[in-house]
Amino acid sequence: MGFLTGKKLLITGVLSNRSIAYGIAKACHQQGAELAFTYVGDRFKDRVVEFANDFGSNIVLPCDVAEDSQIDATFTELAKAWDGLDGLVHSIGFAPREAIAGDFLEGLSRESFRIAHDISAYSFPALAKAALPMMTGRQAAVLTLTYLGAEKVVPNYNTMGLAKASLEASVRYLASSLGPMGIRANGISAGPIKTLAASGIKDFSSILKFVEAHAPLRRNVTIEDVGNVAAFLLSDLAAGVTGEITHVDSGFSTVT
Ligand code: 0WD
């Protein structure tokens, strides 16, 4: 019996088997959780249905977080399958390409700022708010994924760094809002991992090399490393932890 046995978790952001959300789903499944998934865009549906099958789940719902109606519909549909929800994983990020390359000011525009913050930051508290009726009365937890670029200047991360800073602040405000109901909110600041989203960041491979050379553990982290910490934070083992950003980055943030 795993430490997530009996927990029902909704996982967003599984796009491929390299996605951080895939590593989280794997670890949570190993610990006995029941899982449901969301996907964005019809062309990814079949793939996510397959991944869900691997984890013994047949709950796969469309959810483009840019649309309020899709966020609402996700929980209307989920409530037909489950009587409640014990955890939500937000593993979603997007910024227009020009806003994550080169000089910060050159790539800055009102529209790219708006999109990066809408998709990458607003969507976390928005999903938590929509999930709240299903989480009420349960020892539930919400979790998001962030990056060092929220705290420090990381080359090319640019506007996304601002969006991640907002996302990290939302973890603290969510913790304050949900805490009296016994619901927790946390974030994981993951080290760089080669996923589809990461390949959109210019010179990403040089960041991987730099971390491997300088991080205390002298290696990059894997989606399994992140998944295991996520499973812990979503579980009752972490019942006293909320409003926290946990670095899973081989210690890199301590030496920069
Ligand atoms: O190095 C990395 N890979 C790190 C990623 C280091 C630290 C943090 N992160 C964060 C990312 O910023 C993101 O928040 O982890 C989260 C997951 O990222 P990932 O696993 O690296 O990326 P990926 O497998 O590409 O999944 C991110 C997904 C999207 O992929 P694309 O490539 O299509 O943007 O977020 C989803 C989508 O599946 N997504 C959306 N979901 C719902 N509605 C939307 C949307 N509008 N837009 C993107």
Residue 157 annotated as catalytic: yes
Tell how far the Cα of 94 is from the centroid of ligand 1, in angstroms.
7
Residue 239's pLDDT is 98
Residue 203's pLDDT is 84
If one residue of 145, 154, 189 were mutated to test the ligand 1 pocket, choosing by the most ligand atoms within 8 A of its CB, it would be 145
Residue 1's pLDDT is 85
Tell how far the Cα of 147 is from the centroid of ligand 1, in angstroms.
12
If one residue of 39, 60, 195 were mutated to test the ligand 1 pocket, choosing by the most ligand atoms within 8 A of its CB, it would be 195
**Under a CB-based contact definition with an 8 Å cutoff, are residues 145 and 167 in contact?**
no
In whole angstroms, what is the distance from residue 216 CA to residue 136 CA?
A: 41
Atom 40, ligand 1: residue with shortest CA distance: 92
**Under a CB-based contact definition with an 8 Å cutoff, are residues 47 and 16 in contact?**
yes
Residue 39 annotated as catalytic: no
**Ligand 1 nearest atom to the CA of residue 70, by list position:** 43
Exposure on the CB side of residue 113, measured as CA atoms within 13 A? 10
- Interface predicted TM-score (ipTM) over 0.95: no
Residue 32's pLDDT is 98
**Ligand 1 nearest atom to the CA of residue 200, by list position:** 32
**Ligand 1 nearest atom to the CA of residue 194, by list position:** 3
User: Along the 256 residues of the chain, how does pLDDT read in single tens digits?
Assistant: 899 999 999 999 999 999 999 999 999 999 999 999 999 999 999 999 999 999 999 999 999 999 999 999 999 999 999 999 999 999 999 999 999 999 999 999 999 999 999 999 999 999 999 999 999 999 999 999 999 999 999 999 999 999 999 999 999 999 999 999 999 999 999 999 999 888 877 788 999 999 999 999 999 999 999 999 999 999 999 999 999 999 999 999 999 8
Residue from 39, 122, 157, 173 carrying the catalytic annotation: 157
